[in-house]
Amino acid sequence: MSLLEVNNLRICYGDTAVVDDVSFVVRRSESVGLVGESGCGKSQTALALLGLLPRDASVSGSIRFDGAEIANTSQRQLDEIRATRISIVFQDPMQALNPYLRIGQQLRQILLQHNLARGTDADEKVIAMLARVGLPDPKQQFHAYPHQLSGGMRQRAMIASALIARPDLLIADEPTTALDVTVQAQILELLEELRDDTALLLITHDLGIVAGRCERLLVFEAGKLVESGPTGAMFAAPASDSMKRLLKFAPRIDRGAILPPAEGKTVLSVEGASVSYRDASHRELRAVLDVTLSLRQAETLAIVGESGSGKTSLVRALLGLIPMHAGRVVYAGQLLEGAVQTRAAAQRRDLQLVFQDPVSALNPQMRVQSIVSEPLRVHAGEQTAQVRLARVVAILKKVGLNESFLHRFPHQLSGGQAQRVAIARSLILEPKILICDEAVAALDGSARDQVLELLRAVQRESGLSIIFISHDLAVVRSISHRVAVLYLGRLLEVADTALLFSEPRHPYTRALLDASPVPDPLVPTHAAPIKGEVPSLLSPPSGCVFHPRCKFADGVCSDKRPLLREIAGVRVACHHAEVLLKHP
């Protein structure tokens, strides 16, 4: 018998339906993946199941849970169902946990509310649950506030609170999107391990996450359920265009063409760069330490790393947006130094940046035309308005936007269009080096693919050199010639893309590769490759910064900082690189 039965579900805001005529079932103890691009109505559906939609949403159709109708039911009935029968894990645990209550109190509240335990018995149950989700020292963490936990630990606490009342159905709405890839692997493994016979509805935009984990899939597009079926069959023979598109645009770390190394001369070199910050209590944070890199003509160099790796700090310092503490940057034989305002106009023109979030990178009060033409005003003042307009139209055409976009405001653009406007602004001065800071991280499949293709095309035509910052190895594989791996501000490995993906030398690179989900149910999912999370920059580990999480670490690793050295064509900072190369 099915646990959850949704029939003709329709969710409207005013006259617009965000979910329309959706019907599906979830059986007891099965795991179902719900996939779709952003804005397809998947989260709205999840909220409707729990009766958590805002007041101005109107829900019609039927949601039967364990035989009882719960769509448009009373608040009281919902209270009885939530937590004990259906519970949810949200994307951002910092938003979902109450910042003013201790972790233990928040979990105990659930037990007390539903009369599942009282007094010390409740405390013990909570501590046991925290231990099960892998919080170290659960007795202490019982008294911790959410902000005192790391992102991964917070999500573990959130899962503990979702599972403590042993619900029949667990909804996980993008549970790992806000987390680093190595932590994502741990959390997904934990969800699988702990749910026992709890049914799981896993909502995600990432096919790699559902591929090896869910028995069945539901594919949403524009508020409609377009395809459903067993995972294996849907990957092997997708029936709907949506699923075909999702599969086509899901980047893979295990296949696809890799660009050969670029042969051009070096255009930019960074030597011994260090960047430091001071936090609110004036403690020094070394965001980047002693990084040496070079970039060739017409080359794409990817900089890869998890949060706190210093990849953004490095390029911001290089561009002169923040001060560089030590080291030097040489561009075209000249030293790049000082804040961006004090640099020569030609240097500013030749180095351009594309930001992660196109919405915040475009001034909301300016039209596309003024946004894209502004660099021209600054750098080529003598041009007439017509000449400028012609150049704007030409560059927009190049990024795939026609003249009708000239008079739009940023909020009238989709994410992909906005990013293309931002790229047009960066390219209009014909820079020599383009730095893309997570430029495709906020984009869905097809939009991401178009932007990547655009970058490749511009590089082919004009010999543009690109520094491509990303946390996503699958994307990096498809665009870069060379990859640099950063961890806690230190450079751990630099290798040609083909070598890095086939023979990763550094244990951290290996872990990153193993943790990256593959959108293919036939590829076995790895067990979470490394434990723990990225340590705080305030107290970086001694010796090799990666040693506390490394399974090959020994005494040398905690004592001595490994220097970057060249082994068989790859620069790597690991004491045991030779040994690991022979014994994979």
Partner 1 sequence: MKWSAGLLLFVLLLAIVGPWISPYAFQDTNFDAILRAPGFVEAHYFGTDEFGRDLFVRTLLGIRITLLVAVVASLVSLIIGVSYGAIAGYVGGRVDAVMMRIVDTLYALPFIFLVILLMVAFERNFLLIFVAIGAINWLDMARIVRGQTLSLREREFVDAARLTGVSTARIIFRHIAPNLLGIVIVYVTLTIPQAILVESFLSFLGLGVQEPQTSLGSLVNGGVKQMEAAPWMLLIPATLLAAMLMCFNFLGDALRDFFDARHSQ
Least gap, CB of 361 to partner 1 (angstroms)? 4
Binding span for partner 1 by CB under 8 A among 20-28, 195-203, 348-356, 395-403:
348-356
- Cα 471 to chain centroid, rounded: 7
User: What is the C-alpha to C-alpha distance for residues 278 and 134, in angstroms, rounded to an integer?
Assistant: 32
Least gap, CB of 451 to partner 1 (angstroms)? 17
Q: Would you list the DSSP string of 19-77?
A: EEEEEEEEETT-EEEEE--TTSSHHHHHHHHTT-S-TTEEEEEEEEETTEE-TT--HHH
For the record, the structure tokens of 413 come out as 């653009």
Site for partner 1 in 507-526 (CB under 8 A): none
Pairing of β 334-336 and β 326-331: antiparallel
According to the binding rule CB under 8 A, does residue 302 interact with partner 1? no
Least gap, CB of 360 to partner 1 (angstroms)? 5
Which of 65, 235, 355, 487 forms a contact with partner 1 (CB under 8 A)?
355
Angle at 95 between CA 94 and CA 97, to 5 degrees: 70
List, in sequence order, every residue forming a beta bridge with 478; answer none if it has no partner.
none
According to the binding rule CB under 8 A, does residue 363 interact with partner 1? yes
Site for partner 1 in 24-63 (CB under 8 A): none
Binding span for partner 1 by CB under 8 A among 140-148, 338-346, 465-473, 507-515:
338-346
Which of 57, 94, 226, 366 forms a contact with partner 1 (CB under 8 A)?
366
Binding span for partner 1 by CB under 8 A among 96-104, 373-381, 462-470, 498-506:
373-381
User: What is the C-alpha to C-alpha distance for residues 487 and 304, in angstroms, rounded to an integer?
Assistant: 9
User: What is the C-alpha to C-alpha distance for residues 131 and 124, in angstroms, rounded to an integer?
Assistant: 11
Residue among 34 and 429 whose Cβ is closer to partner 1: 429
With beta carbons less than 8 A apart as the criterion, state whether 419 and 455 touch: no
Residue among 378 and 538 whose Cβ is closer to partner 1: 378
Which of 115, 120, 281, 341 forms a contact with partner 1 (CB under 8 A)?
341
List, in sequence order, every residue forming a beta bridge with 330; answer none if it has no partner.
269, 335
SS3 state of residue 465: strand
Burial of 405 (C-beta count, 10 Å sphere; 0-12/13-18/19+):
buried
Site for partner 1 in 375-434 (CB under 8 A): 375, 378-379, 411, 422, 425, 429
Residue among 203 and 421 whose Cβ is closer to partner 1: 421
According to the binding rule CB under 8 A, does residue 536 interact with partner 1? no
With beta carbons less than 8 A apart as the criterion, state whether 446 and 38 touch: no
Binding span for partner 1 by CB under 8 A among 173-181, 220-228, 328-336, 346-354:
346-354
What number of chain residues touch partner 1 (CB under 8 A)? 27
According to the binding rule CB under 8 A, does residue 357 interact with partner 1? yes
Which of 115, 281, 365, 404 forms a contact with partner 1 (CB under 8 A)?
365
Q: Would you list the DSSP string of 83-150?
A: TTTEEEE-S-HHHHS-TTS-HHHHHHHHHHHTTS--HHHHHHHHHHHHHHTT-SSHHHHTT--GGGS-
Residue among 66 and 92 whose Cβ is closer to partner 1: 92
User: What is the C-alpha to C-alpha distance for residues 335 and 328, in angstroms, rounded to an integer?
Assistant: 7
Binding span for partner 1 by CB under 8 A among 119-127, 349-357, 506-514, 542-550:
349-357
Interacting residues toward partner 1 by CB under 8 A: 319, 321, 340-341, 345, 348-349, 351-353, 355, 357, 360-366, 374-375, 378-379, 411, 422, 425, 429
